Structure 1
Amino acid sequence: MQDGRIPIYQIIQDFIKNQITSGILKPGDKILTEKELMEKFEVSRITVSNALSGLTKDGWLTRIQGKGSYVNEPEAAAPASQPGASAGNGALQSKEQAESRNVIGLIMPDLSDFFSMRMNNGISKALKKSGYNLVLMLSENSKEREAAAIRELLRMGASGLIIFPVDDETYNEEILRLKLERFPLVIIDRYLSGIETHFIGSDGVEASRLAVNHLYKLGHRDIAICSDVPLSTTSIEQRLSGYMKAMKELGEMINPAMMLTDFYVDYGKEEIDERHPLFRYVKNGLATAYITLNGTMALYLYRIVRHLGLEVSKDLSIVTFDNVSPSREFNFFTYIDQHEETVGRLAAEQLLELLQRGGDQAQQEPKYRKVLVEPHLIPSQSTAPLQVRVK
């Protein structure tokens, strides 16, 4: 596409491929129906049909008229043999294949949202003409799986790694070992205080300031910020710091009750938990606007609002980090554009630079590079001027 965005059919294909290569879908499994994919990605039937036709042509799927599409055996799929191709958890790539080529490993928690997909796309594009092949492994937000993925990529002979760390209070020991051994490594999106590494991510402080200022201009004063991940990661600390900084700049008192960070959300449950603190918070009308630190929470908050018989933007406003839609044309939520594709591209370019320097690193103390990409706020339907209610 001329504007550089990922075609929607390709996003659908990447989603299905990564479900297969990560083991979520196994040979013989039936994938989502065309209708379910249309609803999930908010696209037309022809877009879904084009995506599935491409996967069938490349050997990933078998389509049976009137029954659906089924996952083929791994050997039937087009091999990931060209620069920039990816394989999840090594499913399509053997140790011997990897060792015969230049390999860069990418470890991510998952590819279940468009944020991760766009970041992956930026990395793939940057490596396309580099001569390196990208091998993707998913940690499923588990430190144990993340550590196992690192060990497997090193066993495969990876020249360097790009890691999107899991949500946790500490890095796993494998990452610390890579740092101590000065292995070519770039961390993206999340990092921890006190541990220097090459890092590429979005400016969380500025992002929260943008969100607060946008809501404040709309008349909101009771603005809550929500996070369900550990506060020890600096990406979360930055966002909370930006929230407090913005409120102080606007002359508002910092109300700790508006910082909703000590809870867990089971996103796998279909029903709304009316005992959950976030549900009670919304029900009691304690805030007129919410900033959610990830897109999945924004969708959960939207469900709570609808469950209570309220309307988003009319009864309360929501700003979220992460665009939860495949493109801006389909977006409902006002969101912080963290330019994740740019983050991915810069991470790949940084790693390529490290690899080009080669042995120079081992001869001297490394100078770690930290890059914060400037975010932007994209307004949409989930935010509106505060409506004064007459009691």
Structure 2
Amino acid sequence: MEENQPIYKQVHQYILKQIKQNVWKPGDKIPTEKELMEQFDVSRITISTALANLSKEGWISRIQGKGSYVLDKRPDEQENTDEPADIAVPMHNVGNGGFIGVIMLSMEDYFSIRLFKGITDAIMADGDRRLVMMQSYNSPEREADAIRDMLRKGAEGLIIFPADTGSYSEEVLRLKLQRFPLVIIDRYLMGVETHYIGSDGVAGAQKAVSHLYDLGHRDIAICSDSPLSLTSVEQRIQGYMKELKERGELINPALMLTDFYVVYDEPELDLEHPLCRYIRNGMATAYITINGKLALHMIRIARQLNLEVPRDFSLVTFDNPMPSREFAFFTYIDQREYEVGKRAAGALLDLLNKQARGQPAEFVKMFIEPDLVAGESTAALGDTKRRHL
């Protein structure tokens, strides 16, 4: 490095040298801004300037909240297209008879079954590829293992339902940086642009609140035992607040029940659990649960407390926890998961087809409009007897 150069250029050249000499390989995370500040004894703005220039030149990708990563395709190797370097579609070998990999959280609920059926139907209709599915059981470690296993076996592309961590694993980030054909379903990570298909959580929550409000309920609580950092949860909280504000209601933080954890397989309920206490004390006349599993748990709580739904409180849930609409006791937000799965598979197939033709592809982010399906778990406020035990 030339000593008379500006310091940010010296930092720039140092990082560039590490990349060109393969000290830092494609997909590797480079040192953090803080580490580089300490190494060069310079200010954050100096390091930030150097990294910004490297990103603009196409050597690294900067991901908010995660750090900076070496890109797979170097600037001098990239094709001359109008697309930014980090959007170019990868030129992997694609041949007939390959397989699509799908990583699900689990197949233990009807939501996942319907979602996977949509994926399966779309892939089978294509007729040219096999489908391989693995389950992460909501474990980031298992998810990472499944991704590596799929890649070793020669997957052409992946559809991933990410684990409940609020951020992608390093393996998912590596896939993005290497421009591997990838579609994320149900939830996405802010600041990380990937192909994404999911239901519109804001609209779904608004419909849930609107339904209960029209039935006369004003003390409407929303319940989630999932991380608030998940975009799917964040959207539903946003929709809940948005609809109440549009109705002229003040937001009561006490009605946003998010700071709790549920052990679903415990043989006996803990009646001192925050959710049990809340229901027992009659703090709300209606509840919206973030998923069907939590709704079933609340029915269990109600029975333990000698309460009935909707006599003592109304209940709306995201997802139908039953096999079909014909068996629906719950009023629920139909996220049209079959359609989500079908469109996710279609988006991945389109990616692969464009890749085979050498065509660029823009990122697709699709939000599918959900429906509210009225069932027996909601009733007008006059028919709901508020109880304080």
- TM bracket (short chain): 0.7 to 0.9
Question: Which structure 2 residues correspond to residues 318-329 of structure 1 after superposition, within 5 A?
Answer: 318-329=315-326
Measured after TM superposition, the shift of residue 268 of structure 1 is: 1.2
Instruction: Determine helix, strand or coil for the equivalent of 1:266.
Output: coil
The match for 1:58 is none
The match for 1:215 is 212
Counterpart-to-counterpart distance in 2, 1:262 and 1:367 = 38
- 2:144 corresponds, among 147, 161, 176, to 147
Q: How many residues align?
A: 291
Measured after TM superposition, the shift of residue 389 of structure 1 is: 5.3
Per the normalisation by structure 1, the TM-score is: 0.72
Q: Percent identity?
A: 59
Q: Does 1:105 align with 2:83?
A: no
The match for 2:122 is 126
The match for 1:384 is 379
Counterpart-to-counterpart distance in 2, 1:373 and 1:116 = 16
Q: State the Cα RMSD in Å.
A: 1.6
Counterpart-to-counterpart distance in 1, 2:363 and 2:353 = 16
Counterpart-to-counterpart distance in 2, 1:206 and 1:183 = 31
Gaps of 5+ in 1: 1-98
In 2, are the aligned partners of 1:190 and 1:233 still within 8 Å (CA)?
A: yes
Q: Which amino acid aligns with 2:344?
A: A
In 2, are the aligned partners of 1:193 and 1:233 still within 8 Å (CA)?
A: no
Which of structure 1's runs of 4+ aligned residues deviate more than 3 A? 388-391
Q: Which has the larger radius of gyration?
A: 2
In 2, are the aligned partners of 1:187 and 1:200 still within 8 Å (CA)?
A: yes
The match for 1:57 is none
Q: Which amino acid aligns with 1:156?
A: K
- 1:373 corresponds, among 360, 368, 371, to 368
Q: Deviations over 1:237-261 (max 9, x none)?
A: 1100000000001111100111111
Counterpart-to-counterpart distance in 1, 2:222 and 2:267 = 24
In 1, are the aligned partners of 2:165 and 2:230 still within 8 Å (CA)?
A: yes
- 1:116 corresponds, among 102, 112, 117, to 112
Instruction: Determine helix, strand or coil for the equivalent of 2:333.
Output: strand
Counterpart-to-counterpart distance in 2, 1:318 and 1:169 = 26
In 1, are the aligned partners of 2:312 and 2:386 still within 8 Å (CA)?
A: no
Q: Does 1:250 align with 2:247?
A: yes
Gaps of 5+ in 2: 1-94
Instruction: Determine helix, strand or coil for the equivalent of 1:178.
Output: helix
In 2, are the aligned partners of 1:102 and 1:158 still within 8 Å (CA)?
A: yes
In 2, are the aligned partners of 1:334 and 1:383 still within 8 Å (CA)?
A: yes
Q: Deviations over 1:20-39 (max 9, x none)?
A: xxxxxxxxxxxxxxxxxxxx
Q: Which amino acid aligns with 1:211?
A: A
Measured after TM superposition, the shift of residue 142 of structure 1 is: 0.2
Judging changes above 3 Å, is the alpha-carbon distance between structure 1 residues 390 and 139 closer, same or farther for their aligned structure 2 residues? Answer: closer
Judging changes above 3 Å, is the alpha-carbon distance between structure 1 residues 389 and 316 closer, same or farther for their aligned structure 2 residues? Answer: closer
Question: Which structure 2 residues correspond to residues 1-391 of structure 1 after superposition, within 5 A?
Answer: 101-130=97-126, 131-358=128-355, 367-387=362-382
Instruction: Determine helix, strand or coil for the equivalent of 1:134.
Output: strand
Counterpart-to-counterpart distance in 2, 1:389 and 1:155 = 59
The match for 2:54 is none
Instruction: Determine helix, strand or coil for the equivalent of 1:282.
Output: helix
Q: Which has the higher contact order (CA 8 A, sep 6+)?
A: 2
